[in-house]
């Protein structure tokens, strides 16, 4: 009996995205294809203005493509309504940004518990998972500290824990180390890699840091609206 073929975690097929511009349209994505597998870390290296943010927004179901399809796991998403797309974002996708966007009035632990409560997990279970994640990321002694009491690198590690708290299928990160000094950026990147490898999620990480990009599994860029593999 043959085993089932592995499914990509994220699959963009012939994705198109355009925006009104004057009397016509600005075509940003023109049939972009991208496959990311569970446990794989892909670097997105693209200059400003080429469609990096658009690609992340479409992959993260924050924008609908004008053509093509975005599959999260085996699920095609273009025909989904807003309620279902929100559910997929909450349960299947995790987001990390350049700025951590932590809730300043809550502790590190509470910031990681919050998305789990929104999903509907019991509080005790959410707290246990938050403690495990933060301890894994080297923040076991900082659980009760608020973001203002943490360093920039610590804040970003809390943001990573929050992003993966609901055990997503895909992690999307937009310049997650862009606001950090080189040494702190390296530690945060190691943290990101460790959590991806440990949980077998797929990661698409937009970065201008070529040294970090070289340490990922693959590198891609956007050229003339298409996704192109880099050596």
Q: How far is CA 72 from CA 12, 51, 132, 225, in A?
A: 9, 20, 26, 21
83 is a domain residue: no
Note the pLDDT of residue 4. 61
How far is Cα 193 from Cα 191, in angstroms, rounded to an integer?
Answer: 5
Query: 86 lies in a domain?
Result: no
Ramachandran angles phi, psi of 2, nearest 5°: -75, 145
pLDDT of residue 98: 73
**Number of domains forming the structure of the chain:** 1
pLDDT value of position 97? 81
CB neighbours of 139 closer than 8 A, spacing ≥ 6? 108, 154, 157, 158, 161
The domain that contains 134 carries what CATH number?
A: 3.40.50.300
Q: Which residues of the chain have pLDDT under 50?
A: 1-2
Smallest CA-to-CA distance from 127 within 193, 191, 135 is with 135
Q: Is residue 128 part of a domain?
A: yes
Give pLDDT, residue 1. 47
Range of the domain at 135: 38-62+91-221
Tell whether 197 is covered by a domain: yes
- Compute CA 27 distance to the chain's CA centroid, rounded to the nearest angstrom: 24
pLDDT digits (tens, 9 = 90+) for 36-79: 999 999 999 988 778 888 999 999 999 999 999 999 998 999 88
């Amino acid at each position: 009996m043959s085993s089932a073929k592995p499914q990509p975690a994220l699959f963009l097929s012939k994705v198109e995205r355009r925006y009104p511009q004057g009397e016509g349209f600005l075509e940003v994505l023109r049939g972009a294809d991208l496959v990311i597998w569970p446990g794989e870390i892909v670097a997105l290296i693209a200059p400003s203005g080429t469609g990096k943010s658009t690609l992340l927004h479409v992959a993260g179901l924050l924008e609908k493509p004008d053509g093509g399809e975005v599959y999260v796991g085996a699920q095609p998403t273009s025909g989904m309504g807003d309620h279902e797309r929100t559910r997929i974002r909450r349960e299947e996708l995790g987001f990390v940004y350049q700025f951590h966007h932590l809730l300043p009035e809550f502790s590190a632990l509470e910031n990681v518990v919050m998305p789990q409560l929104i999903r509907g997990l019991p509080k005790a279970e959410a707290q246990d998972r938050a403690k495990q994640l933060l301890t894994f990321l080297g923040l076991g002694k900082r659980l009760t500290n608020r973001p203002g009491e943490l360093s920039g690198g610590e804040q970003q590690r809390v943001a990573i824990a929050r992003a993966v708290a609901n055990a997503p299928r895909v992690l999307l990160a937009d310049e997650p180390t862009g606001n950090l000094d080189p040494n702190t950026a390296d530690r945060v990147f190691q943290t990101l890699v460790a959590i991806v490898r440990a949980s077998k999620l797929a990661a698409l990480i937009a970065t201008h840091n070529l040294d970090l990009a070289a340490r990922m599994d693959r590198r891609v860029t956007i050229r003339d609206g298409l996704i192109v593999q880099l050596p």
